[in-house]
Chain A
Amino acid sequence: AQSVTQLGSHVSVSEGALVLLRCNYSSSVPPYLFWYVQYPNQGLQLLLKYTSAATLVKGINGFEAEFKKSETSFHLTKPSAHMSDAAEYFCAVSGDSYDKVIFGPGTSLSVIP
């Protein structure tokens, strides 16, 4: 069975500081991993995805994530936070069938001016 955990339901960073949002997964098959962002009162949109090519994945808005199989992690980072990054972030894992897409509980990111 697959699962996703996100450490920290809420993270606050200062504007210009490093953003680090943590995601750990478990999967019985080689995983595909995703990060989605949800701005207030909107649907989710894809930030980036890992599909077994490069382990360091670059996404939109300056975000990137590194797949570490030994640590079963897929943490999301951004070198310098911007006020517009304030949103909810969801990590997701998919395996070998559509109904096996699992979302983590989400991390709410606040950016302090």
Chain B
Amino acid sequence: GAVVSQHPSWVICKSGTSVKIECRSLDFQATTMFWYRQFPKQSLMLMATSNEGSKATYEQGVEKDKFLINHASLTLSTLTVTSAHPEDSSFYICSAREYPRNSPLHFGNGTRLTVT
């Protein structure tokens, strides 16, 4: 089945620094990838839709200058949390769907970000 790989699985950084999270589709091409965030005991909230070769689409309330998304190829999307603050500490998960087939979204294993 489709595999989505996310790296790193966890990261601890100091307040004010930037962190890059990578999301790769390993055995399929994905023109679109989705970035979700999950706070403890909460649902997975869509942050943005990453589109290969064009700008990402951000959900309301998500700062595009803080959460930079780059989707440079059909198998890689990156999320960079810039000038991280403790309130950015969360579980970030990417997902992708095989293209052009219609199939369920497949998720990476997530990245636990802790900002100290």
Physical interaction between A and B: no
Measured CB to CB, the residues of A under 8 A from B are none
